[in-house]
Structure 1
Amino acid sequence: MTTQSSANGDDGARLELLIKQAAMAQPLITAVVQPTDSRCLSGAIEAADRGLIKPILIGSEARIREAAEDGGVALGRFDIMPCGSDEEASAQAVHLVRAGRAHALMKGAVHTDVFMKPVVATAGGLRTARRMSHVFVLDTPAYPRLLLITDAAINIAPDLETKRDIVQNAIDLARAIGIDPPRVAIVCAVETVTPKLPSTCEAAALCKMADRQQIVGGVLDGPLAFDNAVSPIAAEAKHIVSSVAGRADVVVVPDLEAGNMLAKQTEYLAGAHLAGVVVGARVPIMLTSRADSALARLTSCAVAVLYRRWQLAQAAIA
């Protein structure tokens, strides 16, 4: 099933397609860390009700039950693993993954730094040979297809090697949700290679790395300015001849600040619906926020399900 349909994006219809697609797979056993807020807990329970995940609730049992009462949800069919502190709960979730008892992680009412610390630990964490990165999956009525933005949450000022991993992670996720091959725009302030803007030189290097099969599975172009990455009119006005310009599926930003502001601008000024996951670890990781909408939480779960299924399929091929 393709997610690049002409469905009207003003109500998140393309994200709903992902949810329906993911619900056709087996529920993903997910360690949910400190679901002690009614919105966090309700999001996990709703995802379970939709057949997306099978949650293991890890944290303060008293606070989890209080959140359930506040949210009007029943906990009878769900496993609760009592843990005292946020640090203990986060570490326990990683242990469950390493033991094969969970196949995804979800952040609840815990600070991201605390949640991610055992994940990125050199010993006992969930690292792979590739750097972890975050990918937003965005559906906005202002664009005729889903748009992936990366990295806006994990790597603050990535160097070229890290950007290579960020690009590859995004390509893999795009393919997992049905965009294959994805068109990847390496965006900068301008669309020309300019030594005064090192990000433009790195963009050009990433494209050459793709030519040399150091990045695979996608079609890259860069540097591109954001306007000519997503607007055919802007690309034509700049006389850019490219299979990516004007219709990018993935936008790779120069640093976290640029990505974070871009994602939030589209959400609050362009009516976009956002979901996102961390990829590049052993399993997908859902960095949900208490401010997230129900659609964002469900889609993050759906993307994680599809990505995990893709991971397993690739491992079987290898």
Structure 2
Amino acid sequence: MITENKTYDELAIGETATVTRVCTARDLYIYAHASGNLNPLHLPNDTHDDLEAVAPSMWVGGLISAVIGNVLPGPGTLYLSQNLKFAERVHVGDTLSITVTVAEKRPDNIVVLDTRVTGPDDRPVAEGQAEILAPRTKVHLEGQHIPNLLVESHVHFEKLLERARPLPPIRTAVVAPEEPAALGGALLAARQSIITPILIGARDKILAVAQAEGDDLTGVEIIDEPDHREAAKRAVALARDGEVGAIMKGHLHTSDLLSAILSKSTGIRTTRRLSHVFVMDVPGLDHLLLVSDAAVNIMPDLQTKVDITQSAIDVGLAIGLELPKVGILSAIETVNPAIPSTLDAAALSKMAERGQIKGGIVDGPLAMDNAMDVNAARTKGIISRVAGHSEILIAPNMEAGNMLAKQLTFVAHAEAAGIALGAQVPVILTSRADGEMARLASCAIAALYQEWRARNAQAHG
């Protein structure tokens, strides 16, 4: 793209330029960061009384400066003054037309411009005049680029919470909530009416944490069991007896909890292999991204991968994916006997075609680039409904899955929630590093999964 300015001598009275722009939520977030104006009326997720977010008036004014600086007169222009009168408010989704017209040329390269912004149906939004110093010399700019900005918003998790809140709170055994993050996450989900927690652990430690954090445990059931392994067994017993619909990990070793869940004599294992599904809200991605298995199965064989894939599809269906697109990952996108994961991927794809894996579209092997990027898939000549559109990524082993999930979290700034499936109830495996949104979303996923499973059972008699 070539940009060329108009010098003072080239400008003519009546000359005009118009640019159109759509107001987006991203614009409002960026303006809030740049200006420091955190008025909640201008933030899409923080408006009150369900009012629609209003674009700041000076953001609208900034659109005028963009036309002046880029088009008329263009590069080299400097502002002297700008007055504006605002007639209407702008909301996310509005298409605006910004028009600048040369009204007067004065000595010393001073030019007066009429400025006008109109919205849908050509309604006036803002009008005024700008006084500028027009450029004296000709400027040609070719291929100007500025760095992209990443807006760390997690709108997909917000939608999950909206879907989960109307459901009956799921009774949840919270094992060893004996430190602030573990107790706080459970109580936060309870305040959002997503879970009804039953706290199992050392009563004195739980009460001490609640007092230190200012949390009120009135009406919250506490089962006093100081030994973590025994606390895990108590939680599993409640699930086995149908007293709770989910188990939530607190401040204990994951191995202690899983040992109780997988016990052959007293556990709650099912015929499906236990596996973990990360549900990730990645900034800039227009859908949730599921990653499995990154936490339980170290080197899964083909049959284990069948269970991992089926459980991930089930979670996808439960959280609202209509027909989950599953990419089976490897280092390359072609079958190569020297790379066993490519053979497993091809087998999983064929098994899905023949109904051994149900509810989603499965394709592989796919490398990470062509699993997520349409252009990368096209470059490799891959024709697939999944390539470039993957909503679920199945890792070849736990190491790869764990690295992928943590890269998305700590480099791509994703929020990561998730649950383990394969037991009689979903298991919420949270970490001390998880923020409030991740803990809430994990509870919401468990509630939505249980509701989806109940609907399926009812539909099939």
Partner Cα distance (1:97, 1:310) in 2 = 18
Partner Cα distance (1:229, 1:70) in 2 = 47
Is contact 1:23-1:50 (8 Å) kept?
yes
2:373 to 221, 227, 231: 231
* TM superposition shift of 1:12: 1.2
Superposed CA offset, 1:205-232 (max 9, x none): 0011111111011001100001100011
Name the structure with the higher helix share.
Answer: 1
Matches within 5 A, 1:1-318: 10-318=152-460
* TM superposition shift of 1:242: 0.4
Partner Cα distance (1:290, 1:268) in 2 = 15
Partner Cα distance (2:406, 2:25) in 1 = 22
* TM superposition shift of 1:151: 0.2
Is contact 1:7-1:14 (8 Å) kept?
no
Partner Cα distance (2:325, 2:294) in 1 = 19
Partner Cα distance (1:290, 1:71) in 2 = 16
* TM superposition shift of 1:39: 1.3
Rg larger in 1 or in 2?
2
Name the structure with the higher strand share.
Answer: 2
* TM superposition shift of 1:282: 0.8
Aligned length: 313
Give the secondary-structure state (helix, strand or coil) at the position aligned to 1:222: strand
Is contact 1:35-1:64 (8 Å) kept?
yes
Partner Cα distance (1:151, 1:7) in 2 = 34
* TM superposition shift of 1:143: 2.0
Superposed CA offset, 1:2-50 (max 9, x none): xxxx997722111011011101100000000000001110110010000
Give the secondary-structure state (helix, strand or coil) at the position aligned to 1:117: helix
Gaps of 5+ in 2: 1-23, 27-150
Superposed CA offset, 1:99-148 (max 9, x none): 11111000000000001111011122111111111000011114221100
Is contact 1:39-1:71 (8 Å) kept?
no
CA change 1:77–1:175 in 2 (3 A) is same
* TM superposition shift of 1:252: 0.2
Higher RCO (CA 8 Å, separation ≥ 6 residues): 1
Is contact 1:28-1:305 (8 Å) kept?
yes
Give the secondary-structure state (helix, strand or coil) at the position aligned to 2:152: helix
Gaps of 5+ in 1: 1-5
Is contact 1:32-1:57 (8 Å) kept?
yes
The amino acid of 2:287's aligned partner reads R
Is contact 1:7-1:13 (8 Å) kept?
no
Partner Cα distance (1:160, 1:7) in 2 = 44
Partner Cα distance (2:418, 2:358) in 1 = 22
Superposed CA offset, 1:145-193 (max 9, x none): 1100000001110000000000000001100000021000001000000
Matched-pair identity in %: 47
Partner Cα distance (2:230, 2:269) in 1 = 19
Give the secondary-structure state (helix, strand or coil) at the position aligned to 2:210: helix
The amino acid of 2:244's aligned partner reads A
Give the secondary-structure state (helix, strand or coil) at the position aligned to 1:102: coil
User: Match of 2:77?
Assistant: none
The amino acid of 1:219's aligned partner reads I
CA change 1:159–1:21 in 2 (3 A) is same
